[in-house]
Amino acid sequence: MIGVADEVSPLSPEARRKTPDAVAPRLPPLKAWEIVKRVVVGLFNEGFVHAGNLAYLSLLTLFPFFIVLAAVAQIFGQTQEGREAVVLFLRTVPPSVADVLRQPIADVLAVRSGNLLWLGALVGLWSTASFIETIREILRRAYGVTHTRPFYEYRLMSIGIIIGSVVLAMFAFTAQVLLTGVEQFMYRLVPIAAQPQNMLGVTKLVPAIALFVALYIIFYSLTPVRYRSRAYPKWPGALLVAVWWQVTTELLPVVIALFGSYNRTYGSLAGVIVSLLFFYVIGLGLVVGAELNAALAEAPGPGLKDARTVADAEREEEA
């Protein structure tokens, strides 16, 4: 049976489901206001704490994740593709963050090979799974439910998501290479298209599309089963986070420039602080995305078992 989390938003789907007189407004302006209110209440409930946790875990698990990526790439004999996937990731973060991460990631991957690589991959899977579990907790609190399965089941599912993300990253790089070839071919056919003012930058869409797909998979996989059907959309949260990520990547360097040099305040740690700030803002976006999906979910009322078969309802409760 799904339990209600101890400290969740009073406007979460589960809280609304247990309120007999909770009726969603039907007029578009009122409905939009209600959704915004649900998101804001959920965010201020504990969203900033979760964003801080995600920022810390992002920096902690980023290197183990790329070790896993290198190990999986080695299985398929695609070592170079694994390294290029790292480059693809660095294109999705601000230049100052990429400058901090680029060399340490390269150093970590360079010194690991053979058995050492696989040992690092196993440790990396476990470490990175903690990041996935944090996102699962954010979603469960947004929807107002708690864990009901054994710890090891959730951990295994998180490891599966990580491996899937690695494969997606390699696929995104392959698509990037193919689109680059197509783009260059088109420029040769239509030379005017190669001029800077006319370039569409099709290849720049690949990281953004891969990011959206990865976020959608994460939201779908980690959303509580009761709210995983098509009746409760997952794409709004994934799209919001993807756009949030792109906007942050573009604006963070501008904001940092406006407030002066971080070197005077943090010295040699300035790059690390900027990276943490970036991941904190992204973590805040993940919380907002989770709260948005939860706000859009109109929970089934107390008559759930009247509307569907008892067997279906019981299976849903057990998950």
Reported as a single tens digit per residue, the pLDDT across 179-209 is: 555 555 555 655 554 454 444 455 566 677 8
Neighbours of 107 (CB within 10 A): 11
Burial class (CB in 10 A: 0-12, 13-18, 19+), 126: middle
11 domain-assigned: no
303 domain-assigned: yes
145 domain-assigned: yes
* Residue bearing the bigger pLDDT, 273 or 192: 273
- How sure is the predictor about 1, in pLDDT bands with cuts at 50, 70 and 90? very low
Each residue's pLDDT tens digit, 32-69 = 888 888 899 888 887 888 888 888 888 887 777 777 77
pLDDT, position 107 = 77
Extract the tokens encoding 99.
Answer: 């400058």
> For 6-10, 43-47, 191-195, 255-259, which range has the lowest pLDDT when averaged over its residues?
191-195
pLDDT, position 4 = 45
Q: What is the overall mean pLDDT for the chain?
A: 73
295 domain-assigned: yes
Return d(Cα 155, Cα 160) in angstroms, integer: 9
* Residue bearing the bigger pLDDT, 151 or 233: 233
pLDDT cut 90: percent of the chain above it: 8
- How sure is the predictor about 228, in pLDDT bands with cuts at 50, 70 and 90? confident
> For 12-16, 23-27, 267-271, which range has the lowest pLDDT when averaged over its residues?
23-27
Q: Domains in the chain: how many in total? A: 1
Q: Residue 21 — φ and ψ, nearest 5°?
A: -95, 15
Identify the domain containing residue 224 by its residue range.
34-318
pLDDT score of 243 more than 70:
yes
Residues 6 or more apart in contact with residue 15 via CB below 8 angstroms? 4, 8, 9, 144
pLDDT, position 169 = 57
pTM for this model (two decimals)? 0.76
pLDDT, position 317 = 43
Return d(Cα 40, Cα 184) in angstroms, integer: 46
Extract the tokens encoding 3.
Answer: 């339990």
For residues 293-316, give the mean pLDDT.
54
78 domain-assigned: yes
Q: Which 3 state secondary structure label does DSSP give 235?
A: helix
For residue 16, give the nearest of 301, 308, 319 by alpha carbon: 301
> For 135-139, 170-174, 312-316, which range has the lowest pLDDT when averaged over its residues?
312-316
7 domain-assigned: no
- How sure is the predictor about 292, in pLDDT bands with cuts at 50, 70 and 90? very high
Return d(Cα 141, Cα 146) in angstroms, integer: 7
For residues 147-159, give the mean pLDDT.
69
26 domain-assigned: no
Q: Which 3 state secondary structure label does DSSP give 92?
A: coil
Amino acid of residue 56: Y
23 domain-assigned: no
